[in-house]
Structure formats: structure tokens, C-alpha cells
């Protein structure tokens, strides 16, 4: 009987964990991941968004934070002018949920980093979307451009800074190369060789 009850209890716990929403995960996020916003302030932001589909707050450093989008499995929050955080619930191979966190820093070119966690905020060693990523997927030579010019333009992008965007609608992630600071003429030439790449979660 005890074994039977334990199985039922374990199943109920697993069900509760898998049923977590991004709002609940945001509130339980460790302070180390978002030190500028305490759990009480996060709760207030979530409640504001639930009432008005948008939430703004000033943190202890005087920065304005705003939740731009929040669904059951996706969150996009601007922490300050130079830092945006996106959180997405993703399924793993066993049908459970894990948390994907994309931090994008603007300095001024955008650069992103991605990390994965359990729903208890335990760090997971998952290469995920960025495993074996080919930088050449983010550039394409126009038909009317010579190879020499294409190579010269690609050299202007080095070091390569990648910006990542999670999707609100599915489990895909979009990668693009950030534009370096340059004049308008070179900027237009660079734009002509850039392309986005959709990374599917598997």
C-alpha cells in the first residue's frame, strides 16, 4: 500500500512540475540570474502584466524594466537599455519540461548567450541549438557580387556576434549576425549579405 501511495504521490509531483508556467518560473528564478530584480518585484510585475498585458517597474539601480510578452511558456523582459532576457519552456526527449534562457546584451552591437535549466533552476549541460553551429549559415553571397567583395565584407563582421531570438509560437530559435558600427555605405553592403537562420529544437 505504501508503495502504491508513493507512486501516486510521485506522479502528482511530476505533474505539478510539468504544469509550471513561465510566470511561476520567473518568480522562482534565482537572484543570481537576475540580481537587479528581487522575487517580490517579479511577482508585482507578473500581476501588472496579468492586468494590463504590459508591466513596467524601476529597479534598485534606477533602470526601467518592462515585460513585453508573457504567455504560459514564453517571457520577454527588458532589464535595462543594454540587457534583454527571454525565457522559454521546452520539451525534453522524455516529455518533461526544461527552461531555455537567452540573455542578449547590447554594447552597442547585440550579442546573445543561451543556457538551459531544469524547472527547479538546476543548470543543465545541454549544447542545444548552438551545437556545431556554422557561422556561414548567417551570410549569403548575392548573385551579382564577386567572391572577393563577399570575402571582404565577411571580414568586416569579424569577430562574429550572434543575436538569438526565441519564438513565442513554437520551439524554434532565430540567429542573426549583429551589425558592427560602420558608415551607411558599408552598412548597406553588409546588410546585403546577411541572412537569418532558424534553429529547430530537437
Q: What is the pLDDT along the chain (202 residues), one digit of tens a residue?
A: 433 333 333 333 333 444 589 999 999 998 888 887 888 888 888 988 888 777 888 877 788 888 999 999 999 999 988 999 999 999 988 888 999 999 999 988 899 999 999 999 999 988 655 555 677 889 999 999 999 999 999 998 888 899 999 999 999 999 999 988 888 888 899 999 999 999 888 7
- Report the sign of the C-alpha dihedral through residues 49, 46, 88, 83, in that order: positive
Q: What is the H or E stretch that residue 4 is in?
A: helix 2-18
Q: How far is residue 45's CA from residue 54's CA, in Å, rounded to a whole number?
A: 9
Q: How far is residue 44's CA from residue 4's CA, in Å, rounded to a whole number?
A: 41
Q: Is pTM beyond 0.95 here?
A: no
- Report the sign of the C-alpha dihedral through residues 22, 168, 130, 181, in that order: negative
Instruction: List the end-to-end C-alpha distance of the chain, in Å, as a whole number.
Output: 39
Residues 58, 38, 169, 121, Cα dihedral to 10°? 160
Q: How far is residue 69's CA from residue 54's CA, in Å, rounded to a whole number?
A: 7
Amino acid at each position: 500500500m505504501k508503495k502504491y501511495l508513493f507512486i501516486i504521490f510521485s506522479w502528482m509531483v511530476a505533474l505539478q512540475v510539468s504544469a509550471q508556467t513561465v510566470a511561476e518560473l520567473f518568480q522562482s528564478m534565482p537572484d543570481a540570474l537576475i540580481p537587479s530584480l528581487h522575487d517580490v518585484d517579479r511577482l508585482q510585475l507578473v500581476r501588472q502584466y496579468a492586468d494590463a498585458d504590459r508591466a513596467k517597474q524601476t529597479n534598485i539601480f534606477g533602470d526601467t524594466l518592462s515585460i513585453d510578452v508573457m504567455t504560459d511558456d514564453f517571457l520577454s523582459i527588458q532589464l535595462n537599455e543594454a540587457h534583454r532576457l527571454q525565457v522559454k519552456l521546452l520539451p525534453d526527449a522524455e516529455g518533461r519540461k526544461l527552461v531555455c534562457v537567452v540573455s542578449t546584451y547590447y554594447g552597442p552591437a547585440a550579442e546573445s548567450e543561451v543556457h538551459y535549466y531544469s524547472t527547479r533552476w538546476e543548470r543543465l549541460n545541454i549544447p542545444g541549438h548552438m551545437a556545431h553551429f556554422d557561422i556561414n549559415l548567417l551570410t549569403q553571397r548575392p548573385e551579382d557580387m564577386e567572391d572577393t567583395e563577399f570575402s571582404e565584407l565577411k571580414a568586416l563582421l569579424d569577430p562574429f556576434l550572434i543575436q538569438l531570438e526565441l519564438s513565442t509560437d513554437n520551439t524554434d530559435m532565430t540567429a542573426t549576425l549583429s551589425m558592427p558600427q560602420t558608415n551607411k555605405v558599408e552598412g548597406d553592403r553588409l546588410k546585403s549579405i546577411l541572412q537569418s537562420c532558424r534553429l529547430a529544437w530537437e
